[in-house]
Amino acid sequence: KMAPEDLAEATEGMDTDDVAYVLRSLPDDLSREVLSQMDSADRARVETALSYPEDTAGGLMNTDVITIRGDVDVDVVLRYLRMKGELPEATDALYVIDDESKLIGELPITTLITTQPDVKIIDVMEDADDAITVDTSDSDVASLFERRNWVSAPVVDENQHLVGRITIDDVVDVIREDAEHSMMSMAGMDDDEDTFAPVFKSARKRSVWLGANVLAALAAASVSNMFEATLDQMAAIAVLMTIVPSMGGVAGNQTVALVIRGLALGHIGDSNKRELLMKEAAIGLLNGIMWALIIGGIVVVWKGNWMLGGINSAAMLTNLFVAGVAGVTIPVLLKKMN
């Protein structure tokens, strides 16, 4: 175990958002002790980051930002940067603020170094209309970075005061966590489960989903039981009936994986849900027709029974169509229910 003062020393040089992430993972009393061991400037920055929810822009942002005034010359800014000697990581722009620390624009580094020294900053700066507010969700932040190919972006409060910035490395972490959450959810597991967690803890978490699967399997078995007399009379049905749910399961998993990925990346919204549903229904229908003909033909050749082939074909067509529709609607509904 590390003492609070050692933990505070270990966080020196780390980005504010990374320090906040570490402190959130510690017990509250230990987190407070570590904060008390920091110098006042670092403590103020970290406390600012901790004051915002972890899954918002405020929780992601880094308060290490270089700000400039719009009424100074480019030469003044260049001399100021040379005096500082070092820029924060992933700095691709400087932020222009007014006397009240409100964000009024930004100056790309490329513009700074290619502009004549006697030009005023306000004459070459770009608008900051795309600044991110502190309460923007982390998934929306990731979508903005993806669509606009940002390296960094300013973060402002409700009064347009500049409070920090978000860099691409923070967004990559969000995307990775969303992908991990989606992957684990598809397997019915929590994304916070440790690979080397205690056996009984992991078994308890997984048993819930296994129990849900047992209920679903019992429901399917009860349907089969309703046709027990038919199965006794025609044993071939029992042999062939495993093919249909297997194909439906694969088709459903393909659609679910696609939809969950789209939801995680923000590609699926109210404007295109209907279009996606129609597309996946059409894919299910086309695949259903193709595989219904193939499986039906195989059954007729194998068993010499046209009725049995027709039954399998109809079941295959229906199952693949329903799998495509359910693969879209179920994840979308669950997302809507949070």
| Residue closest to 288 by CA, chosen among 332, 255, 337 | 255
The whole-chain average pLDDT of the chain stands at: 85
Distance CA 65, CA 30 (A): 28
Q: Which residue has the higher pLDDT, 93 or 205?
A: 93
Q: In this structure, what DSSP letter does residue 265 have?
A: H
> What percentage of the chain has pLDDT greater than the value 90?
36
Is the pLDDT assigned to residue 19 strictly greater than 90? no
pLDDT for 305 equals 84
* Number of other CB atoms surrounding residue 331 within 10 Å: 23
**Whole-structure pTM value:** 0.64
Work out the angle at residue 149's Cα, subtended by the Cα atoms of residues 148 and 155, and round it to the nearest 5 degrees: 70
- Segment 220-240 shows an average pLDDT of 72
Distance CA 32, CA 21 (A): 14
Is the pLDDT assigned to residue 70 strictly greater than 80? yes
Report strand pairing: 67-69 vs 162-167. unpaired
